[in-house]
Amino acid sequence: MIRLQQLSKVFQARSDSIRAVDNVDLSINTGEIFGVIGYSGAGKSTLIRMLNMLERPSAGNVTVADWNMADLSGRRLREARQEISMIFQHFNLLWSRTVKENIAFPLEIAGVSKQKRAERVEELTELVGLSGRGDAYPSQLSGGQKQRVGIARALANNPKVLLCDEATSALDPKTTDSILDLLTDINKKLGLTIVLITHEMHVIRKICHRVAVMDGGKVVEQGLVIDVFRNPEQDMTKEFVKQVTEPEETLDALKDILKSSENGLVVKLMFLGEDAEQPVMTDLIRTCGVAVNILQGKVSKTRDGSYGTLFVQLQGNKEELDKAWQYLQEHRVEAEVLNDV
Ligand SMILES: Nc1ncnc2c1ncn2[C@@H]1O[C@H](COP(=O)(O)OP(=O)(O)OP(=O)(O)O)[C@@H](O)[C@H]1O
């Protein structure tokens, strides 16, 4: 559905030039939810804005839904943009128009008749869960409801692709989750291809099929979300994965335990998919005779399976600890010892 080839964008500042996007190659499949993650300044916004030519590339090709985007202008670019909608962090609603009028706006521009507009607005209001709020003004809505209007408006002309520019960054965690659920629902119901940019790994974990990590304008890593969680290669990717799997307080708590753990191993265990649901710990205690002190654990769900991290302290004599270590190796549990004994 989307193909980026050697895509670059250079901004000319007064004294020097900034390479915001640097030679990016990406392919995004039809019906996929594809996430791009990176810290501020990585080039995410510039990249996503080149998908609908809000930003023109300095070099390279952008193909979206068979449109060769960089070749388009005027009427043909407007036509292509009907197939490539966008939602924004700050919603970009028309404040003097009601919910219904905001949603109807792209239909008016597309020349849809009044009767058809009214029907479509009704359909969309229901789809995004805003039935009964059609006559409210944006200022009367919560952040989540405003983004629902943004989504309904973006879907008005039946686009093939939805671009989400930090669409949940201005929302609280609970509202973020409800908007992510809505995007997942729309993706399933309509088969819509969704591209989103974010700095939150939670967003990637919850709804994306695949992810690309950006740093300094380049894509430094990409893959299936579950694989990236399981085997992050770049240090930056590891940091993003830790946002979800290891909250900061874990490290603080572990520091104290590591200081005082003289007779045992402090181990970080990583489980994947079905392994995350096996009774590995019970078997470990039974077969190896070690005592297990659970320090912290978390199972995160991605679209393609569960991923678990568990911090434990194993206590026993040298022979028992060796046996336990052997057991973990044999049971496809990835383990890392955090202290030396
Ligand atoms: N119009 C512009 N003129 C000059 N420099 C720009 C322009 N737009 C972006 N940049 C620069 O390009 C780089 C990438 O910016 P971009 O906004 O794409 O990153 P980002 O990952 O989306 O970060 P953020 O989340 O903070 O927006 C930054 O160094 C930024 O300052």
ipTM for the whole complex = 0.97
Residue 273 has pLDDT above 60, yes or no: yes
**Residues 6+ positions from 182 with CB-CB distance below 8 Å:** 128, 129, 148, 151
288 C-alpha to center of ligand 1: Å? 55
227 C-alpha to center of ligand 1: Å? 29
- 246-339: CATH topology is Alpha-Beta Plaits (3.30.70)
**Average pLDDT of the residues of the chain:** 90
Residue identified by tokens 């974990």 is: 205
pLDDT in tens, 31-71: 999 999 999 999 999 999 999 999 999 999 999 999 999 99
End-to-end CA distance of the chain: 53
pLDDT in tens, 70-88: 999 999 999 999 999 999 9
Question: Which residue's C-alpha comes closest to atom 2 of ligand 1?
Answer: 11
Q: How far is CA 240 from CA 108, 111, 223, in A?
A: 42, 45, 14
**Residues 6+ positions from 89 with CB-CB distance below 8 Å:** 165, 166, 167, 169, 170
Distance CA 297, CA 309 (A): 6
- Output the six-digit token pair for 80: 């292509």
What pLDDT, on a 0 to 100 scale, did the predictor assign at position 268? Answer: 84
Domains 2-243 and 246-339 alike in fold: no
Can you list the positions of beta strands (E) in the chain? 2-12, 17-28, 33-37, 59-64, 67-68, 84-88, 161-165, 193-198, 210-215, 218-224, 265-272, 291-302, 305-315, 334-337
Question: Which residue's C-alpha comes closest to atom 4 of ligand 1?
Answer: 11
Decide: 310 and 269 in contact? Cβ < 8 Å: yes
Residue 277 has pLDDT above 60, yes or no: no
Residue 141 has pLDDT above 90, yes or no: yes
Ligand 1 atom index nearest CA of 217: 14
Q: What is the pTM of this model?
A: 0.87
Residue 312 has pLDDT above 80, yes or no: yes
Domain ranges for the chain: 2-243, 246-339
Note the helical H segments in 292-332. Answer: 318-330
- Output the six-digit token pair for 24: 């990016």
- Helix and strand totals (H; E) in the chain: 12, 14
Decide: 288 and 327 in contact? Cβ < 8 Å: yes
- What CATH code is assigned to 2-243? 3.40.50.300
Decide: 85 and 101 in contact? Cβ < 8 Å: no
Q: What pLDDT band is residue 243 in, cutting at 50, 70 and 90?
A: confident
Residue 275 has pLDDT above 70, yes or no: no
Instruction: Find which of 89-93, 246-250, 301-305, 323-327 is predicted with most confidence, using mean pLDDT.
Output: 89-93
- Lining ligand 1 with CB less than 6 A are 11, 13, 18, 20, 38, 40-46
Ligand 1 atom index nearest CA of 199: 25
Distance CA 159, CA 110 (A): 13
Q: What pLDDT band is residue 266 in, cutting at 50, 70 and 90?
A: confident
Distance CA 203, CA 119 (A): 33
